[in-house]
Amino acid sequence: MQQDLNNVSVVQDEELDIRSIIFKYLSYWRWFIVSIVFFTIVGFVYLKRQNNIYENNVIVLLKDENTATEEMLLLQDLGMSAGKNNIENEIALFKSPDLITKAVTSLELYTTYRKVTRWSFNDNELYGNAPLYIRWEDMEPKKIPAPVTFTFTPQGKGFEVSGQYENMPFHGRIDTLPVYLKLPMGRFYVSRNNEIDPAYKQEPYTFEATISNPSALARRLSAELKVTPSAKQSSVLTLSIQSEIKKKGRDFLQQLVNFYNEDATNDKNMVAHNTAVFIEERIKEISVELGTVEKQVEDFRQQKQITDIQAEAQLYLGQTGQNEQKRVEIETQLNLTRFVEDFIARPANANKLIPNLGVTDAGLVSVINEYNQLLLMKERLESSSSDSNPALIQMKQQVSGMRQSIQASLANVRRASEIALRDLN
């Protein structure tokens, strides 16, 4: 019985302790109310200062012109998986600062316009809808040394211009448009924007314009741009980026894809040019060989007093038939193989595309095409990154390995042709 009374006493003490704690903190109710109001205001101000962010996406289908052959399987056995590396290389190209800089420069995204509001609430970007257009004259965008910010404040029929450049303030005034604004850091062209969306046409307001180096902006966009394959080993890539203005994000992604396709077209034109050069060199060699052969034929006719060499040739070809035709085909392939071998062996051609015109071996043609595409990708990465770039280092190793594989394949094809030719002879 005594034990039960002790338990009841403990429960009553606990209830009293809890009650006393509650009453103790209720005495500070004013501070609780002040804190709730304060943090509500802070949250409201924070949200009002934040701009909406939109996700923009575009899907790209990579055309794969190569098919899996025995040579490709051999490369995979050597640790050079063509399919996977191609996807990784294309992703690296899309994120290349050089490619992104082209898109940024063509759309003039390096110049941003923002409406200035009281207390800096919702300073939304005015993409394509700013009252004025400004451009740095006599200065290539990629050579802009540091960002320059302008503030345009309406004054009567004109604008008061103020801002700073490298912590140096400047002031000016615009009364007529268009005008060339001369400032300490250079000359700027300012004109009225006549392509404003009707929704943005309102009473004059203060806005800012910032001109920065497109290469610096491209590096930031390269980090923000997401390029992911839709599935493992898939040739479909999804490009996505976040932006305050939907149209700006869409325009950037579309322009990026356009320049990517343009570079791919230029690569094909380069291949066609190298093929044309190869044909021209080969024609010159054949012309010299034909001139020598014709001279030998003329000497032979004079010595043997043959008057109708065409009839003799037809008789000879009729006797040899298909065997002779095969021999000519093998000789042609053998000469082409030797010519390509000689082309690769020249140090001056170490970074040139390998011609494969006339080569009939499907495996060899596929490997050469794969090598040429990889070499073009390497050159594009070299123009936009440093030698210490891990992707570039890996690509150089792939190029070197594939070149050695092509030399080995050419040697095998040449030996096989020589054996076949000896058998026919």
pLDDT tens-digit map of 170-193: 988 898 889 999 988 889 999 998
Query: Distance from CA of residue 230 to its chain's centroid?
Result: 18
Burial of 183 (0-12, 13-18, 19+ CB in 10 A): middle
Domain residue spans of the chain: 2-49, 111-212, 266-424
- 190 φ, ψ to 5°? -125, 130
Helical (H) or strand (E) element with 97: helix 97-107
Q: What is the pLDDT of residues 232-282, one digit of tens each?
A: 667 889 999 998 888 999 999 999 999 998 887 777 777 777 777 777 776
Provide the pLDDT confidence category of residue 293 given band limits of 50, 70 and 90. low
Confidence of residue 84 (pLDDT cuts 50, 70, 90): very low
Percentage of residues in the chain with pLDDT exceeding 70?
Answer: 76
The whole-number average pLDDT for the span 147-162 is 91
- Orientation angle between helical segments 97-107 and 246-304, nearest 10 degrees: 120
Quote the mean pLDDT of the chain: 78
- For residues 71 and 405, give the distance between their C-alpha atoms in angstroms, rounded to a whole number: 9
Strands of the 186-192 sheet, one edge to the other = 132-137, 186-192, 179-183
Q: How confident is the model at residue 108 (pLDDT cuts 50, 70, 90)?
A: very high
pLDDT of residue 83: 44
Q: What is the pLDDT of residues 367-394, one digit of tens each?
A: 888 888 888 888 877 776 677 777 778 8
- Average pLDDT of the residues in 290-317: 64
> Which residues, listed in sequence order, are joined to residue 244 by a DSSP beta bridge?
none
Contact (CB, 8 A) for 57 and 240? yes
pLDDT tens by residue, 193-236: 888 877 667 778 889 999 999 999 999 999 999 998 877 667 88
Which tokens sit at 172? 């000016």
At 264 the pLDDT is 78
Other CB atoms within 10 A of residue 12 CB? 10
Position 99 confidence tier, pLDDT thresholds 50, 70, 90: very high
Please report the pLDDT score of residue 48 as a whole number.
61
How far is it, in rounded angstroms, from Cα 363 to Cα 393? 26
Q: Which two tokens mark 236?
A: 């479909």
Work out the average pLDDT over 28-40.
Answer: 81
> What is the arithmetic mean of pLDDT over 296-307?
64
Query: How do residues 324-373 score in pLDDT, each as one tens digit?
Result: 777 777 777 778 788 888 888 888 877 888 877 667 777 788 888 888 88
How far CA 150 is from CA of 95, 231, 292, in Å, comes to: 30, 46, 75
By mean pLDDT, which of 23-37, 89-103, 116-130, 299-313 is the weakest? 299-313
Residue 333 neighbours by CB under 8 Å, 6+ apart: 358, 359, 360, 413, 417
**Residues 336, 339, 345, 349, CA torsion sign:** negative
The token pair that represents 391 in the structure block: 């992707």
3-state class (DSSP) for residue 333: helix
**Cα(123)–Cα(206) distance, integer angstroms:** 11
DSSP letter string, 211-253 = E--HHHHHHHHHHH-EEEESSTT-SEEEEEEEESSHHHHHHHH
More confident residue, 425 or 240: 240
DSSP class of residue 349 equals G
Q: Residue 296: its pLDDT value, please? A: 67
CB 212 within 8 A of CB 221: no
Q: Which stretch of 134-148, 203-217, 397-411 has the lowest confidence by average pLDDT?
A: 397-411
Give the confidence band of 411 by pLDDT, cuts at 50, 70, 90. Answer: confident
Q: Fill in the DSSP letter of residue 125.
A: B
Q: Which residue has the higher pLDDT, 230 or 144?
A: 144
Please choose, from the candidates 127, 146, 138, 144, the residue with its C-alpha nearest in 3D space to the C-alpha of residue 209.
127
Structure tokens at 31: 């501070």
